[in-house]
Amino acid sequence: MTDEKCAMLRHTVATVAYRGGKAVRDAPDGFSVFRAKHDVRTPLQILAHMGDLFDWALTLAQGRESWHNSEPLPWDREVDRFFAALKAFDEFLAGDRPLAASAEKLFQGPVADALTHIGQIAILRRIVEAPVRGENYYRADITAGRVGTQQSAPRREFD
């Protein structure tokens, strides 16, 4: 993989951390188990799935594809697991080992799927009247490698 592709993929993972952190931060009590409809995943189930996506992404990148449907943990622990999975994937991308899967496939599969699920959590936050503030994400301070819970403060949120 070219350095340019790796850099773009790492920046995308940092974007997932930034946007995902914003969607899960300060969620109201009871939000994790909110069910918009009987056949719609709860925010907790979505978050657990996102952790699974990045666990899977790491196995794909390492050439040992393995999928696991995790039983959701309590919200705070699931948030930690999500960020730990992002960190493990990002560390692999930053390392010296070559990718066993293409950057394009990693993006179109687990990474893009996670971006969709972040949007779902944001919509569910709006439904429970605890919306995530909109933001000019173009101006956000997002940096490859910053994939933990600690993110830069928003630069330009919308009212």
The 10 Å CB-count burial string (b at 16+, else e) for 131-155 is ebeebeeeebebebebbeeebeebe
Q: How many CB atoms lie within 10 A of CB 86?
A: 26
Q: For the chain, where are the alpha helices, taking DSSP H only?
A: 3-24, 43-62, 75-94, 103-106, 112-127
**Structural domain includes residue 119:** yes
**Structural domain includes residue 151:** no
**Structural domain includes residue 38:** yes
Q: Helix or strand or coil: residue 21?
A: helix
Q: How confident is the model at residue 28 (pLDDT cuts 50, 70, 90)?
A: very high
**pLDDT beyond 60 at 1:** no
**Structural domain includes residue 152:** no
The predicted structure's pLDDT at residue 156: 84
**Structural domain includes residue 82:** yes
Q: What is the mean pLDDT of residues 44-73?
A: 98
Q: What is the mean pLDDT of residues 25-32?
A: 97
Q: What is the mean pLDDT of residues 36-62?
A: 97
Q: How confident is the model at residue 155 (pLDDT cuts 50, 70, 90)?
A: confident
Q: Helix or strand or coil: residue 156?
A: coil
This prediction's pTM? 0.95
**Structural domain includes residue 117:** yes
The predicted structure's pLDDT at residue 137: 95
Q: How many distinct structural domains can be found in the chain?
A: 1
**pLDDT beyond 60 at 56:** yes
Q: What is the mean pLDDT of residues 26-50?
A: 97
Residue at token pair 């599969």: 109
Domain limits for position 84: 3-139
**Structural domain includes residue 155:** no
Q: How many CB atoms lie within 10 A of CB 111?
A: 20
Whole-number average pLDDT of the chain: 96
Kindly report, residue by residue over 76-114, the tens digit of the pLDDT. 999 999 999 999 999 999 999 999 999 999 999 999 999
Percent of the chain with pLDDT over 70: 98
CATH of residue 107: 1.20.120.450
CB 42 within 8 A of CB 35: yes
**Structural domain includes residue 154:** no
Q: What is the mean pLDDT of residues 126-144?
A: 95
**pLDDT beyond 80 at 159:** no
d(C-alpha 67, C-alpha 31), whole Å: 27
